[in-house]
Structure 1
Protein backbone atom coordinates (compact mmCIF):
# COMPACT_ATOMS: atom_id res chain seq x y z
CA UNK A 1 0.00 0.00 0.00
CA UNK A 2 2.84 2.40 0.79
CA UNK A 3 4.47 1.60 -2.54
CA UNK A 4 1.17 2.47 -4.24
CA UNK A 5 1.02 5.72 -2.29
CA UNK A 6 4.56 6.59 -3.34
CA UNK A 7 3.83 6.07 -7.03
CA UNK A 8 0.63 8.07 -6.79
CA UNK A 9 2.43 10.87 -4.98
CA UNK A 10 5.16 10.88 -7.64
CA UNK A 11 2.64 11.21 -10.46
CA UNK A 12 0.67 13.84 -8.55
CA UNK A 13 3.80 15.86 -7.78
CA UNK A 14 3.98 16.74 -11.47
CA UNK A 15 0.98 19.01 -10.86
CA UNK A 16 3.03 20.99 -8.36
CA UNK A 17 6.00 21.13 -10.76
CA UNK A 18 3.75 22.47 -13.49
CA UNK A 19 2.12 24.92 -11.09
CA UNK A 20 5.51 26.32 -10.05
CA UNK A 21 6.42 26.97 -13.67
CA UNK A 22 2.99 28.31 -14.60
CA UNK A 23 2.76 30.70 -11.65
CA UNK A 24 6.34 31.94 -11.45
CA UNK A 25 7.26 32.04 -15.16
CA UNK A 26 5.24 33.80 -17.84
CA UNK A 27 5.14 30.96 -20.33
CA UNK A 28 3.67 32.00 -23.71
CA UNK A 29 0.11 30.75 -24.09
CA UNK A 30 0.97 29.03 -27.35
CA UNK A 31 3.60 26.96 -25.55
CA UNK A 32 1.15 26.08 -22.78
CA UNK A 33 -1.41 25.03 -25.38
CA UNK A 34 1.13 22.87 -27.19
CA UNK A 35 2.20 21.11 -24.01
CA UNK A 36 -1.45 20.61 -23.07
CA UNK A 37 -2.11 19.03 -26.46
CA UNK A 38 0.86 16.71 -26.00
CA UNK A 39 -0.41 15.70 -22.55
CA UNK A 40 -3.85 15.03 -24.03
CA UNK A 41 -2.33 12.64 -26.54
CA UNK A 42 -0.42 10.86 -23.80
CA UNK A 43 -3.58 10.29 -21.78
CA UNK A 44 -5.57 9.19 -24.82
CA UNK A 45 -2.93 6.55 -25.51
CA UNK A 46 -2.85 5.41 -21.88
CA UNK A 47 -6.64 5.05 -21.78
CA UNK A 48 -6.72 3.15 -25.08
CA UNK A 49 -3.77 0.78 -24.78
CA UNK A 50 -3.43 0.42 -21.02
CA UNK A 51 -6.66 0.99 -19.12
CA UNK A 52 -9.42 -0.12 -21.51
CA UNK A 53 -7.34 -2.91 -23.01
CA UNK A 54 -6.44 -4.23 -19.55
CA UNK A 55 -10.04 -3.99 -18.39
CA UNK A 56 -11.18 -5.98 -21.42
CA UNK A 57 -8.62 -8.70 -20.73
CA UNK A 58 -9.72 -8.91 -17.10
CA UNK A 59 -13.49 -8.96 -17.47
CA UNK A 60 -14.55 -8.89 -21.10
CA UNK A 61 -16.52 -6.39 -23.13
CA UNK A 62 -19.63 -5.88 -20.98
CA UNK A 63 -17.95 -4.85 -17.68
CA UNK A 64 -15.48 -2.72 -19.65
CA UNK A 65 -18.15 -0.88 -21.63
CA UNK A 66 -20.39 -0.45 -18.60
CA UNK A 67 -17.54 0.83 -16.43
CA UNK A 68 -16.30 3.30 -19.04
CA UNK A 69 -19.81 4.63 -19.69
CA UNK A 70 -20.46 5.06 -15.96
CA UNK A 71 -17.12 6.81 -15.49
CA UNK A 72 -17.89 9.25 -18.28
CA UNK A 73 -21.41 9.86 -16.92
CA UNK A 74 -20.29 10.48 -13.34
CA UNK A 75 -17.42 12.73 -14.38
CA UNK A 76 -19.58 14.75 -16.75
CA UNK A 77 -22.34 15.22 -14.18
CA UNK A 78 -19.84 16.37 -11.55
CA UNK A 79 -18.07 18.61 -14.06
CA UNK A 80 -21.35 20.29 -15.05
CA UNK A 81 -22.17 20.95 -11.39
CA UNK A 82 -18.72 22.44 -10.74
CA UNK A 83 -18.80 24.51 -13.95
CA UNK A 84 -21.92 26.26 -12.66
CA UNK A 85 -19.97 27.26 -9.55
CA UNK A 86 -17.01 28.78 -11.37
CA UNK A 87 -14.73 25.83 -12.21
CA UNK A 88 -15.49 25.57 -15.92
CA UNK A 89 -12.12 27.04 -16.93
CA UNK A 90 -9.98 25.56 -14.15
CA UNK A 91 -7.33 24.33 -16.60
CA UNK A 92 -7.29 27.50 -18.72
CA UNK A 93 -4.16 29.62 -18.74
CA UNK A 94 -5.86 32.74 -20.12
CA UNK A 95 -8.09 35.22 -18.35
CA UNK A 96 -11.15 32.99 -18.25
CA UNK A 97 -10.96 31.82 -14.64
CA UNK A 98 -13.20 33.98 -12.43
CA UNK A 99 -11.75 35.61 -9.34
CA UNK A 100 -13.42 35.11 -5.98
CA UNK A 101 -14.89 38.62 -6.18
CA UNK A 102 -16.38 37.85 -9.60
CA UNK A 103 -17.93 34.56 -8.50
CA UNK A 104 -18.02 33.68 -4.84
CA UNK A 105 -17.05 30.06 -4.17
CA UNK A 106 -15.22 29.66 -7.46
CA UNK A 107 -11.93 28.96 -5.66
CA UNK A 108 -13.46 26.04 -3.79
CA UNK A 109 -15.08 24.77 -6.98
CA UNK A 110 -11.74 24.90 -8.79
CA UNK A 111 -10.09 22.95 -5.97
CA UNK A 112 -12.80 20.28 -6.02
CA UNK A 113 -12.59 20.14 -9.81
CA UNK A 114 -8.85 19.56 -9.66
CA UNK A 115 -9.43 16.66 -7.27
CA UNK A 116 -12.10 15.31 -9.60
CA UNK A 117 -9.58 15.32 -12.45
CA UNK A 118 -6.79 13.61 -10.53
CA UNK A 119 -8.40 10.88 -8.43
CA UNK A 120 -9.31 8.39 -11.21
CA UNK A 121 -5.74 8.45 -12.52
CA UNK A 122 -4.32 7.79 -9.06
CA UNK A 123 -6.71 4.93 -8.29
CA UNK A 124 -5.61 3.18 -11.47
CA UNK A 125 -1.94 3.56 -10.52
CA UNK A 126 -2.61 1.77 -7.24
CA UNK A 127 -4.73 -0.91 -8.91
CA UNK A 128 -1.94 -1.63 -11.42
CA UNK A 129 0.11 -3.14 -8.56
CA UNK A 130 -2.48 -5.84 -7.88
CA UNK A 131 -1.08 -8.24 -10.47
CA UNK A 132 2.13 -8.61 -8.47
CA UNK A 133 4.37 -7.59 -11.35
CA UNK A 134 5.05 -4.06 -10.20
CA UNK A 135 3.44 -0.77 -11.04
CA UNK A 136 2.42 0.05 -14.61
CA UNK A 137 5.27 2.29 -15.75
CA UNK A 138 3.20 3.42 -18.72
CA UNK A 139 0.33 4.61 -16.50
CA UNK A 140 2.65 6.43 -14.09
CA UNK A 141 4.55 8.07 -16.94
CA UNK A 142 1.36 9.04 -18.76
CA UNK A 143 -0.17 10.61 -15.66
CA UNK A 144 3.07 12.40 -14.77
CA UNK A 145 3.57 13.79 -18.28
CA UNK A 146 -0.04 14.94 -18.55
CA UNK A 147 -0.07 16.45 -15.05
CA UNK A 148 2.72 18.92 -15.83
CA UNK A 149 0.74 20.89 -18.44
CA UNK A 150 -2.43 20.61 -16.34
CA UNK A 151 -0.73 22.25 -13.36
CA UNK A 152 1.09 24.76 -15.55
CA UNK A 153 -2.00 25.92 -17.42
CA UNK A 154 -4.27 26.05 -14.39
CA UNK A 155 -1.76 27.89 -12.19
CA UNK A 156 -1.16 30.48 -14.92
CA UNK A 157 -4.89 31.06 -15.08
CA UNK A 158 -5.13 31.32 -11.29
CA UNK A 159 -2.39 33.94 -11.27
CA UNK A 160 -4.27 35.99 -13.87
CA UNK A 161 -7.45 35.65 -11.79
CA UNK A 162 -5.61 37.21 -8.83
CA UNK A 163 -5.33 34.15 -6.59
CA UNK A 164 -2.49 34.16 -4.07
CA UNK A 165 0.62 32.01 -4.08
CA UNK A 166 -0.56 30.41 -0.84
CA UNK A 167 -3.81 29.34 -2.50
CA UNK A 168 -2.18 28.05 -5.69
CA UNK A 169 0.69 26.09 -4.17
CA UNK A 170 -1.37 24.94 -1.20
CA UNK A 171 -3.98 23.59 -3.59
CA UNK A 172 -1.57 21.65 -5.79
CA UNK A 173 0.42 20.33 -2.82
CA UNK A 174 -2.81 19.05 -1.26
CA UNK A 175 -3.85 17.42 -4.52
CA UNK A 176 -0.47 15.70 -4.84
CA UNK A 177 -0.94 14.26 -1.34
CA UNK A 178 -4.51 13.20 -2.13
CA UNK A 179 -3.20 11.53 -5.29
CA UNK A 180 -0.94 9.38 -3.14
CA UNK A 181 -3.82 8.50 -0.81
CA UNK A 182 -6.10 7.68 -3.75
CA UNK A 183 -3.44 5.40 -5.20
CA UNK A 184 -3.14 3.67 -1.83
CA UNK A 185 -6.92 3.26 -1.73
CA UNK A 186 -6.90 1.86 -5.26
CA UNK A 187 -4.55 -0.87 -4.12
CA UNK A 188 -6.06 -1.55 -0.69
CA UNK A 189 -9.75 -1.49 -1.55
CA UNK A 190 -9.47 -3.49 -4.77
CA UNK A 191 -7.07 -6.18 -3.56
CA UNK A 192 -9.80 -8.83 -3.22
CA UNK A 193 -12.09 -7.63 -5.97
CA UNK A 194 -13.17 -10.24 -8.57
CA UNK A 195 -11.82 -9.74 -12.11
CA UNK A 196 -15.11 -8.39 -13.44
CA UNK A 197 -15.28 -5.72 -10.76
CA UNK A 198 -11.65 -4.81 -11.23
CA UNK A 199 -12.26 -4.52 -14.98
CA UNK A 200 -15.29 -2.29 -14.44
CA UNK A 201 -13.43 -0.01 -12.01
CA UNK A 202 -10.40 0.25 -14.31
CA UNK A 203 -12.69 1.10 -17.24
CA UNK A 204 -14.61 3.55 -15.00
CA UNK A 205 -11.38 5.46 -14.45
CA UNK A 206 -10.62 5.26 -18.16
CA UNK A 207 -14.02 6.72 -19.06
CA UNK A 208 -13.61 9.52 -16.54
CA UNK A 209 -10.12 10.37 -17.81
CA UNK A 210 -11.29 10.34 -21.43
CA UNK A 211 -14.13 12.72 -20.56
CA UNK A 212 -11.73 14.98 -18.70
CA UNK A 213 -9.40 15.16 -21.70
CA UNK A 214 -12.28 16.03 -24.05
CA UNK A 215 -13.94 18.51 -21.68
CA UNK A 216 -10.99 20.42 -20.26
CA UNK A 217 -7.60 19.66 -21.84
CA UNK A 218 -8.24 19.63 -25.59
CA UNK A 219 -10.34 22.86 -25.52
CA UNK A 220 -7.48 24.66 -23.75
CA UNK A 221 -4.98 23.32 -26.27
CA UNK A 222 -7.14 24.25 -29.26
CA UNK A 223 -7.79 27.81 -28.08
CA UNK A 224 -4.18 28.83 -28.69
CA UNK A 225 -2.61 26.06 -30.79
CA UNK A 226 -5.50 25.86 -33.29
CA UNK A 227 -4.41 23.88 -36.35
CA UNK A 228 -1.25 22.60 -34.65
CA UNK A 229 -3.11 20.91 -31.79
CA UNK A 230 -3.75 17.76 -33.82
CA UNK A 231 -0.06 17.39 -34.60
CA UNK A 232 1.16 17.74 -31.01
CA UNK A 233 -1.65 15.52 -29.71
CA UNK A 234 -0.63 12.75 -32.10
CA UNK A 235 2.99 13.22 -31.00
CA UNK A 236 1.95 12.68 -27.39
CA UNK A 237 -0.19 9.69 -28.36
CA UNK A 238 2.66 8.02 -30.26
CA UNK A 239 5.17 8.74 -27.49
CA UNK A 240 3.01 6.98 -24.91
CA UNK A 241 2.26 4.15 -27.33
CA UNK A 242 5.97 3.60 -27.93
CA UNK A 243 6.55 3.55 -24.16
CA UNK A 244 3.83 0.94 -23.71
CA UNK A 245 5.49 -1.32 -26.28
CA UNK A 246 9.07 -0.80 -25.07
Structure 2
Protein backbone atom coordinates (compact mmCIF):
# COMPACT_ATOMS: atom_id res chain seq x y z
CA UNK A 1 0.00 0.00 0.00
CA UNK A 2 2.86 2.35 0.76
CA UNK A 3 4.23 1.92 -2.75
CA UNK A 4 0.84 2.76 -4.26
CA UNK A 5 0.61 5.86 -2.05
CA UNK A 6 4.05 6.94 -3.26
CA UNK A 7 3.22 6.50 -6.96
CA UNK A 8 -0.08 8.31 -6.50
CA UNK A 9 1.77 11.25 -5.00
CA UNK A 10 4.38 11.22 -7.77
CA UNK A 11 1.71 11.25 -10.48
CA UNK A 12 -0.02 14.24 -8.87
CA UNK A 13 3.25 16.11 -8.28
CA UNK A 14 2.93 17.36 -11.87
CA UNK A 15 0.18 19.67 -10.56
CA UNK A 16 2.69 21.37 -8.29
CA UNK A 17 5.21 21.59 -11.11
CA UNK A 18 2.56 23.12 -13.36
CA UNK A 19 1.69 25.71 -10.71
CA UNK A 20 5.37 26.59 -10.27
CA UNK A 21 5.81 27.05 -14.01
CA UNK A 22 2.68 29.19 -14.22
CA UNK A 23 4.04 31.61 -11.62
CA UNK A 24 7.62 31.65 -12.91
CA UNK A 25 7.09 31.64 -16.69
CA UNK A 26 4.42 32.61 -19.20
CA UNK A 27 4.06 29.52 -21.34
CA UNK A 28 1.69 29.95 -24.25
CA UNK A 29 -1.66 28.14 -24.49
CA UNK A 30 -0.39 26.08 -27.44
CA UNK A 31 2.25 24.40 -25.28
CA UNK A 32 -0.39 23.52 -22.70
CA UNK A 33 -2.79 22.27 -25.38
CA UNK A 34 -0.15 20.00 -26.95
CA UNK A 35 0.59 18.41 -23.57
CA UNK A 36 -3.14 17.96 -22.95
CA UNK A 37 -3.64 16.20 -26.29
CA UNK A 38 -0.66 13.88 -25.82
CA UNK A 39 -1.74 13.06 -22.28
CA UNK A 40 -5.25 12.27 -23.53
CA UNK A 41 -3.87 9.78 -26.04
CA UNK A 42 -1.76 8.09 -23.38
CA UNK A 43 -4.72 7.78 -21.03
CA UNK A 44 -6.91 6.40 -23.83
CA UNK A 45 -4.30 3.69 -24.39
CA UNK A 46 -4.25 2.86 -20.69
CA UNK A 47 -8.05 2.64 -20.59
CA UNK A 48 -8.06 0.31 -23.60
CA UNK A 49 -5.18 -2.03 -22.71
CA UNK A 50 -5.07 -1.99 -18.92
CA UNK A 51 -8.69 -1.50 -17.87
CA UNK A 52 -11.23 -2.62 -20.45
CA UNK A 53 -9.13 -5.48 -21.81
CA UNK A 54 -8.36 -6.80 -18.33
CA UNK A 55 -11.97 -6.46 -17.16
CA UNK A 56 -13.23 -8.46 -20.15
CA UNK A 57 -11.07 -11.41 -19.14
CA UNK A 58 -13.29 -12.17 -16.16
CA UNK A 59 -16.58 -10.38 -16.89
CA UNK A 60 -19.08 -10.33 -19.73
CA UNK A 61 -19.16 -7.61 -22.35
CA UNK A 62 -22.57 -6.49 -21.08
CA UNK A 63 -21.38 -6.26 -17.48
CA UNK A 64 -18.28 -4.30 -18.38
CA UNK A 65 -20.27 -2.00 -20.65
CA UNK A 66 -22.79 -1.21 -17.91
CA UNK A 67 -20.03 -0.39 -15.41
CA UNK A 68 -18.29 1.84 -17.95
CA UNK A 69 -21.56 3.76 -18.36
CA UNK A 70 -21.98 3.94 -14.58
CA UNK A 71 -18.49 5.38 -14.13
CA UNK A 72 -19.11 7.98 -16.84
CA UNK A 73 -22.47 8.91 -15.30
CA UNK A 74 -20.99 9.44 -11.84
CA UNK A 75 -18.19 11.61 -13.19
CA UNK A 76 -20.59 13.61 -15.39
CA UNK A 77 -22.90 14.25 -12.44
CA UNK A 78 -20.03 15.44 -10.26
CA UNK A 79 -18.61 17.58 -13.05
CA UNK A 80 -22.02 19.13 -13.68
CA UNK A 81 -22.47 20.04 -10.02
CA UNK A 82 -19.02 21.58 -9.76
CA UNK A 83 -19.46 23.47 -13.04
CA UNK A 84 -22.58 25.12 -11.63
CA UNK A 85 -20.50 26.26 -8.66
CA UNK A 86 -17.67 27.81 -10.66
CA UNK A 87 -15.33 24.92 -11.46
CA UNK A 88 -16.25 24.32 -15.08
CA UNK A 89 -13.26 26.18 -16.53
CA UNK A 90 -10.65 24.58 -14.28
CA UNK A 91 -8.52 23.43 -17.26
CA UNK A 92 -9.07 26.41 -19.52
CA UNK A 93 -5.81 27.32 -21.29
CA UNK A 94 -6.73 31.01 -21.45
CA UNK A 95 -7.09 31.63 -17.72
CA UNK A 96 -10.90 31.71 -17.52
CA UNK A 97 -10.60 30.23 -14.00
CA UNK A 98 -10.21 33.75 -12.64
CA UNK A 99 -14.00 34.16 -12.90
CA UNK A 100 -14.73 30.85 -11.18
CA UNK A 101 -14.70 29.53 -7.65
CA UNK A 102 -11.23 28.49 -6.39
CA UNK A 103 -12.80 25.85 -4.12
CA UNK A 104 -14.79 24.41 -7.02
CA UNK A 105 -11.62 24.35 -9.13
CA UNK A 106 -9.78 22.36 -6.48
CA UNK A 107 -12.72 19.99 -5.92
CA UNK A 108 -12.93 19.54 -9.69
CA UNK A 109 -9.25 18.65 -9.81
CA UNK A 110 -9.84 16.12 -7.04
CA UNK A 111 -12.73 14.68 -9.07
CA UNK A 112 -10.44 14.40 -12.11
CA UNK A 113 -7.63 12.79 -10.14
CA UNK A 114 -9.44 10.19 -8.03
CA UNK A 115 -10.31 7.62 -10.75
CA UNK A 116 -6.89 7.76 -12.42
CA UNK A 117 -5.05 7.50 -9.10
CA UNK A 118 -7.32 4.65 -7.99
CA UNK A 119 -6.44 2.74 -11.15
CA UNK A 120 -2.75 3.53 -10.67
CA UNK A 121 -2.93 1.80 -7.29
CA UNK A 122 -4.51 -1.19 -9.00
CA UNK A 123 -1.57 -1.50 -11.42
CA UNK A 124 0.84 -1.55 -8.46
CA UNK A 125 -1.26 -4.35 -6.97
CA UNK A 126 -0.90 -6.31 -10.21
CA UNK A 127 2.88 -6.38 -9.90
CA UNK A 128 4.35 -3.07 -11.01
CA UNK A 129 3.20 0.44 -11.72
CA UNK A 130 1.95 1.02 -15.27
CA UNK A 131 4.49 3.26 -17.00
CA UNK A 132 1.95 4.22 -19.68
CA UNK A 133 -0.72 5.17 -17.15
CA UNK A 134 1.74 7.04 -14.92
CA UNK A 135 3.05 9.03 -17.90
CA UNK A 136 -0.47 9.79 -19.09
CA UNK A 137 -1.57 11.02 -15.67
CA UNK A 138 1.45 13.26 -15.32
CA UNK A 139 0.98 14.67 -18.82
CA UNK A 140 -2.64 15.47 -17.99
CA UNK A 141 -1.85 16.92 -14.56
CA UNK A 142 0.95 19.20 -15.79
CA UNK A 143 -1.20 21.39 -18.07
CA UNK A 144 -4.02 21.31 -15.52
CA UNK A 145 -1.69 22.76 -12.88
CA UNK A 146 -0.37 25.31 -15.37
CA UNK A 147 -3.73 26.45 -16.74
CA UNK A 148 -5.62 26.50 -13.45
CA UNK A 149 -2.80 28.27 -11.62
CA UNK A 150 -2.57 30.90 -14.37
CA UNK A 151 -6.22 31.73 -13.75
CA UNK A 152 -5.73 31.85 -10.00
CA UNK A 153 -2.70 34.09 -10.46
CA UNK A 154 -4.86 36.42 -12.58
CA UNK A 155 -7.37 36.46 -9.72
CA UNK A 156 -4.63 37.70 -7.39
CA UNK A 157 -3.89 34.50 -5.51
CA UNK A 158 -0.35 34.34 -4.07
CA UNK A 159 1.85 31.45 -5.16
CA UNK A 160 2.08 30.00 -1.65
CA UNK A 161 -1.70 29.65 -1.39
CA UNK A 162 -1.98 28.00 -4.81
CA UNK A 163 0.80 25.54 -4.02
CA UNK A 164 -0.93 24.66 -0.74
CA UNK A 165 -4.16 23.93 -2.62
CA UNK A 166 -2.39 21.64 -5.09
CA UNK A 167 -0.64 19.90 -2.21
CA UNK A 168 -4.07 18.96 -0.85
CA UNK A 169 -5.00 17.53 -4.25
CA UNK A 170 -1.70 15.63 -4.32
CA UNK A 171 -2.43 14.03 -0.95
CA UNK A 172 -5.96 13.05 -2.02
CA UNK A 173 -4.51 11.45 -5.17
CA UNK A 174 -1.94 9.55 -3.11
CA UNK A 175 -4.62 8.23 -0.75
CA UNK A 176 -6.79 7.30 -3.76
CA UNK A 177 -3.95 5.21 -5.17
CA UNK A 178 -3.50 3.52 -1.79
CA UNK A 179 -7.27 2.87 -1.69
CA UNK A 180 -7.13 1.27 -5.13
CA UNK A 181 -4.40 -1.03 -3.91
CA UNK A 182 -6.24 -1.94 -0.70
CA UNK A 183 -9.84 -2.28 -1.92
CA UNK A 184 -8.90 -4.50 -4.85
CA UNK A 185 -6.63 -6.83 -2.88
CA UNK A 186 -7.17 -10.39 -4.25
CA UNK A 187 -6.78 -11.73 -0.72
CA UNK A 188 -10.20 -10.22 0.00
CA UNK A 189 -11.78 -12.14 -2.85
CA UNK A 190 -12.27 -9.18 -5.17
CA UNK A 191 -11.31 -9.51 -8.83
CA UNK A 192 -11.49 -5.77 -9.44
CA UNK A 193 -12.91 -6.24 -12.95
CA UNK A 194 -16.06 -4.21 -12.39
CA UNK A 195 -14.10 -1.50 -10.59
CA UNK A 196 -11.71 -1.36 -13.53
CA UNK A 197 -14.64 -0.86 -15.89
CA UNK A 198 -16.17 1.81 -13.63
CA UNK A 199 -12.87 3.71 -13.46
CA UNK A 200 -12.48 3.39 -17.24
CA UNK A 201 -15.84 5.08 -17.75
CA UNK A 202 -14.94 7.90 -15.37
CA UNK A 203 -11.59 8.43 -17.12
CA UNK A 204 -13.20 8.48 -20.57
CA UNK A 205 -15.77 11.01 -19.39
CA UNK A 206 -13.02 13.17 -17.87
CA UNK A 207 -11.04 13.15 -21.12
CA UNK A 208 -14.11 14.02 -23.18
CA UNK A 209 -15.38 16.76 -20.87
CA UNK A 210 -12.18 18.52 -19.84
CA UNK A 211 -8.92 17.69 -21.62
CA UNK A 212 -9.96 17.21 -25.25
CA UNK A 213 -12.25 20.27 -25.59
CA UNK A 214 -9.57 22.57 -24.17
CA UNK A 215 -6.89 21.09 -26.43
CA UNK A 216 -9.06 21.32 -29.54
CA UNK A 217 -9.99 24.92 -28.80
CA UNK A 218 -6.34 25.86 -29.22
CA UNK A 219 -4.84 23.27 -31.57
CA UNK A 220 -7.85 22.62 -33.80
CA UNK A 221 -7.42 19.78 -36.32
CA UNK A 222 -3.92 18.97 -35.05
CA UNK A 223 -5.49 17.72 -31.81
CA UNK A 224 -6.49 14.42 -33.43
CA UNK A 225 -2.95 13.70 -34.60
CA UNK A 226 -1.49 14.54 -31.20
CA UNK A 227 -4.00 12.29 -29.42
CA UNK A 228 -3.17 9.40 -31.74
CA UNK A 229 0.55 10.08 -31.21
CA UNK A 230 -0.01 9.79 -27.45
CA UNK A 231 -1.99 6.59 -28.01
CA UNK A 232 0.90 5.14 -30.06
CA UNK A 233 3.33 6.01 -27.26
CA UNK A 234 1.00 4.25 -24.84
CA UNK A 235 1.20 1.09 -26.97
CA UNK A 236 5.00 1.22 -26.78
CA UNK A 237 5.06 1.90 -23.03
CA UNK A 238 2.66 -0.96 -22.35
CA UNK A 239 5.34 -3.34 -23.58
CA UNK A 240 7.80 -2.12 -20.95
Deviations 1:36-75 (A, max 9, x none): 1111111111111221112212323233212211110000
Structure 1 residues 68 and 193, CA gap change in structure 2 (3 angstroms): farther
Q: Aligned ranges for residues 38-57 of structure 1 at < 5 Å? A: 38-57=38-57
Q: Which runs of 5 or more residues in structure 1 are unaligned?
A: none
CA distance in 2, matches of 1:229, 1:122: 25
Structure 1 consecutive aligned stretches of length 4 or more whose deviation exceeds 6 Å: none
How many residues in Structure 1 have an aligned counterpart in Structure 2?
A: 238
CA distance in 2, matches of 1:193, 1:207: 23
Q: Which runs of 5 or more residues in structure 2 are unaligned?
A: none
Contact 1:91–1:157 (Cα < 8 Å) also in 2: no
Q: 1:116 aligns with which of 111, 118, 126?
A: 111
Structure 1 residues 126 and 116, CA gap change in structure 2 (3 angstroms): same
CA distance in 2, matches of 1:159, 1:57: 47
Deviations 1:196-215 (A, max 9, x none): xx111111111111111110
Name the structure 2 match of 1:174: 168
Contact 2:4–2:174 (Cα < 8 Å) also in 1: yes
CA distance in 1, matches of 2:213, 2:154: 19
Name the structure 2 match of 1:208: 202
What SS does the aligned partner of 1:162 have?
A: coil
Name the structure 1 match of 2:12: 12
Deviations 1:184-204 (A, max 9, x none): 111112212432xx1111111
CA distance in 2, matches of 1:138, 1:229: 20
CA distance in 1, matches of 2:18, 2:98: 21
CA distance in 2, matches of 1:170, 1:123: 22
Name the structure 1 match of 2:120: 125
Which is worse superposed, 214-223 or 162-171? 162-171
Deviations 1:107-126 (A, max 9, x none): 11111111000011111111
CA distance in 2, matches of 1:162, 1:94: 16
Structure 1 residues 15 and 193, CA gap change in structure 2 (3 angstroms): farther
Which is worse superposed, 161-170 or 231-240? 161-170
Structure 1 residues 62 and 23, CA gap change in structure 2 (3 angstroms): farther
CA distance in 2, matches of 1:160, 1:82: 21
CA distance in 1, matches of 2:232, 2:41: 8
What SS does the aligned partner of 2:56 have?
A: helix
CA distance in 1, matches of 2:5, 2:167: 15
Name the structure 2 match of 1:65: 65
TM-score by length of 2: 0.92
1:154 has 2:148 as partner: yes
CA distance in 2, matches of 1:108, 1:24: 23
| C-alpha RMSD over aligned residues | 1.6
